[in-house]
Structure 1
Amino acid sequence: METTEYSQVVGKALDKLRGPLDIQDAQQLLLAVIFLRCVSDIPAGGASGDRPQWRQLAELGSSLAGDHELTWALKQALDAWTSSYLDGGRPMSESIPDHLVAGPLLREVLGLVDRADRLVELYEECLERFSNNKKGGNYFTPRHLVRLLVEMLAPRQGEQVFDPACGSGGFLVESARYVQEHGGSSAAVGLVGRDINPRARQVAWMNLTARGLEADLGSRPVNSLWADDTPAGAFDVVFVNPPFNLKLARDDLRYDSRWRYGEPPRSNANFAWIQHVVSKLTTRGRAAMLLPDGATFTSGAAAGIRRGLVADDLVSAVVALPAGLFPHTSISASAWIFSREKPAERRGQVLFVDARKQGNLVGRGRRTLSEGAIESIADTYRSWYAESYQDRPGWCRSATVEEIAAQEFNLQAVRYVGAPAEAPAPQSAEQRVAELTRELYGHFADAARLETEIRDILGEL
Structure 2
Amino acid sequence: MVPEPITQAELEKYLWGAAVLLRGYIDASDYKQYIFPLLYFKRICDCYDEETERALAACGEVFPEDHRFVVPEGAHWHDVRAVTEDVGMALQEAMHRIEDANRETLAGIFGDTSWTNKDFLSDATLRDLVEHFSSETLSLAHVPQDELGQGYEFLIKKFADDSGHTAAEFYTNRTLVRLMTQMLDPQEGESVYDPTCGSAGMLLVAALQVREQGKEYRSLRLFGQEINLITSSIGRMNLLLHGIEDCTIVRGDTLAEPAFVEQDRLKTFDCILANPPYSISRWDREAFSSDPWGRNLFGVPPQGRADYAFFQHIIRSMDPATGRCAILFPHGVLFRDAEREMRRRIVEADLIECVLGLGPNLFYNSPMEACVIVCRMQKPPARRGRVLFINAVDEVTHEKAQSFLEPRHIEKILAAYLSDEDVEGFSRSVPVEEILAKDANLSIPRYIARCDDGAVTPTFAGVYEEWTEYATEKSDAMEELRAVLKEVGLDG
For the Cα contact (< 8 Å) 2:445–2:462, is it kept in 1? no
Question: Which of structures 1 and 2 has the larger relative contact order (alpha carbons within 8 angstroms, sep 6+)?
Answer: 1
Deviations 1:249-277 (A, max 9, x none): 43222122211112222221111111110
Q: CA RMSD in A?
A: 3.1
Picking from 23, 28, 50, the partner of 2:73 is 50
2:277 pairs with 1:243? yes
Question: Which SS does the other structure have where 1:67 is aligned?
Answer: coil
2:333 pairs with 1:295? yes
Question: Which SS does the other structure have where 1:130 is aligned?
Answer: helix
Matches of 1:209 and 1:81, distance apart in 2: 15
- TM superposition shift of 1:81: 4.2
For structure 1, the 5+ residue unaligned runs are 422-437
2:255 pairs with 1:217? no
Does the C-alpha gap of structure 1 residues 73 and 97 become closer, same or farther in structure 2, counting only changes over 3 Å?
closer
Alignment of 1:161-200 (within 5 A): 161-200=192-231
- TM superposition shift of 1:166: 0.9
Matches of 1:390 and 1:313, distance apart in 2: 20
Alignment of 1:50-449 (within 5 A): 50=73, 52-53=75-76, 56=78, 65-68=82-85, 74-83=91-100, 84-85=102-103, 89=108, 91-92=110-111, 94-97=113-116, 99=118, 100=121, 102-103=123-124, 105-111=128-134, 114=137, 117=143, 118-132=147-161, 133-139=163-169, 140-214=171-245, 215-218=247-250, 221-231=251-261, 232=266, 234-247=268-281, 248-256=283-291, 257-284=294-321, 285-300=323-338, 302-364=339-401, 366-381=402-417, 383-384=418-419, 389-419=420-450, 443=464, 446-449=467-470
- TM superposition shift of 1:155: 0.9
Does the C-alpha gap of structure 1 residues 128 and 82 become closer, same or farther in structure 2, counting only changes over 3 Å?
farther
Matches of 1:354 and 1:5, distance apart in 2: 41
Q: Which moved more, 1:79-88 or 1:238-247?
A: 79-88
2:23 pairs with 1:41? no
- TM superposition shift of 1:399: 1.1
Question: Which SS does the other structure have where 1:234 is aligned?
Answer: coil
User: How many matched pairs?
Assistant: 430
Does the C-alpha gap of structure 1 residues 81 and 44 become closer, same or farther in structure 2, counting only changes over 3 Å?
farther
Matches of 1:175 and 1:313, distance apart in 2: 26
Deviations 1:12-34 (A, max 9, x none): 33222112222233222222233
Does the C-alpha gap of structure 1 residues 77 and 361 become closer, same or farther in structure 2, counting only changes over 3 Å?
farther
Letter in 2 for 1:253: F
For the Cα contact (< 8 Å) 1:156–1:179, is it kept in 2? yes
If you compute each CA radius of gyration, which structure gives the higher value, 1 or 2? 2
Matches of 2:38 and 2:480, distance apart in 1: 49
For structure 2, the 5+ residue unaligned runs are 1-5, 49-65, 453-458, 485-492
For the Cα contact (< 8 Å) 1:51–1:80, is it kept in 2? no
Q: Which moved more, 1:38-47 or 1:231-240?
A: 38-47
| Counterpart in the other structure of 2:63 | none
For the Cα contact (< 8 Å) 1:38–1:119, is it kept in 2? no
Matches of 2:467 and 2:252, distance apart in 1: 32
Matches of 1:402 and 1:3, distance apart in 2: 53
- TM superposition shift of 1:37: 4.3
Matches of 1:35 and 1:91, distance apart in 2: 8
Deviations 1:132-169 (A, max 9, x none): 33143122222222212111111111211111111111
Matches of 1:443 and 1:129, distance apart in 2: 33
Matches of 1:405 and 1:363, distance apart in 2: 40
For the Cα contact (< 8 Å) 1:38–1:120, is it kept in 2? no
Deviations 1:370-404 (A, max 9, x none): 232223223322x23xxxx3211222111111221
Question: Which SS does the other structure have where 2:319 is aligned?
Answer: strand
Letter in 1 for 2:248: D
Identity of aligned residues (%): 27
- TM superposition shift of 1:204: 0.8
- TM superposition shift of 1:339: 0.3
For the Cα contact (< 8 Å) 2:356–2:373, is it kept in 1? yes
Q: TM-score, structure 1 length as denominator? A: 0.83
Does the C-alpha gap of structure 1 residues 4 and 87 become closer, same or farther in structure 2, counting only changes over 3 Å?
closer
Matches of 1:225 and 1:31, distance apart in 2: 27
Q: Which moved more, 1:95-104 or 1:302-311?
A: 95-104
2:476 pairs with 1:455? yes
Deviations 1:304-323 (A, max 9, x none): 11111111110011111111
Deviations 1:306-346 (A, max 9, x none): 11111111001111111111224333221110100111011
| Counterpart in the other structure of 1:435 | none
Matches of 1:6 and 1:362, distance apart in 2: 25
Q: TM-score, structure 2 length as denominator? A: 0.78
Letter in 2 for 1:295: V
Does the C-alpha gap of structure 1 residues 313 and 357 become closer, same or farther in structure 2, counting only changes over 3 Å?
same
Matches of 1:48 and 1:11, distance apart in 2: 26
Deviations 1:98-139 (A, max 9, x none): 642643521453156548842221111011222333143122
Matches of 2:304 and 2:473, distance apart in 1: 7
